[in-house]
Amino acid sequence: MSVTDELLANAGRYAERFDKGHLPLPPAKGVAVLACMDARLNVYGLLGLSEGDAHVIRNAGGVVTADERRSLAISQRLLGTREIILIHHTDCGMLTFTDDGFKHAIEAETGIKPDWAAEAFTDLDEDVVQSVNRIRADPFIPVKDSVRGFVYEVETGRLREVKA
């Protein structure tokens, strides 16, 4: 049995006890969270979210590229969210390589150099500020009164705010 099949069995149990079939499409709490994809970062558990509460956007690093700006524009313009929470974390994989090294390794193997930035970074707090600044500079995200950035500490479970 693959891991996917194992997780599908879990999903079957989730459906059996499901009682949230009538939640509305817009997030109840009016918040969009943008976080790293890291396995140790359980956004629902950490922030105490329940089904229906918040949009959750995630990628390698929790960085802000065109696709996150697209998602945030849709979140605010079509579904009414008004606050943004950014979460990076300690011991992040993005701290372990460089864009150049990663892309050269891929080119050496495949013969093609990726046409995207890998978005590696060397300083967690600086990259949180970078992400906040990218959102602030975006012309398509309308509401920027509450864009706050944090570092989640995978060692302690704590969330530390980064002033940006």
Q: Does 163 bind its own copies (CB under 8 A)?
A: no
Q: Does 146 bind its own copies (CB under 8 A)?
A: yes
CB of 106 to its own copies, least distance (A): 6
Give the footprint of its own copies on residues 40-79 (CB under 8 A).
Answer: 40-60, 65-71, 73-75, 77-79
Which residue lies nearer to its own copies by CB, 59 or 133?
59
Among 28, 98, 136, 137, binds its own copies (CB under 8 A): 28
Q: Is the separation of the CB atoms in 36 and 89 below 8 Å?
A: yes
Q: Does 144 bind its own copies (CB under 8 A)?
A: no
Listed residue (78, 59, 80, 89) closest to 149, CA to CA: 89
| Cα Rg of the chain (Å, integer) | 18
Cβ density class 9-18: b for 16+ within 10 Å, e for less: eeeeeeeeee
Among 1, 108, 122, 156, binds its own copies (CB under 8 A): 156
CB of 136 to its own copies, least distance (A): 15
Q: What string of H, E and C letters represents the secondary structure of 24-78?
A: CCCCCCCEEEEEECCCCCCHHHHHCCCCCCEEEEEECCCCCCHHHHHHHHHHHHH
Give the footprint of its own copies on residues 7-26 (CB under 8 A).
Answer: 7-8, 10-15, 18, 20-23, 25-26
Which residue lies nearer to its own copies by CB, 115 or 122?
115
Among 88, 118, 128, 135, binds its own copies (CB under 8 A): 118
- Whole-angstrom Cα distance, residue 76 to residue 102? 34
Q: Does 148 bind its own copies (CB under 8 A)?
A: yes
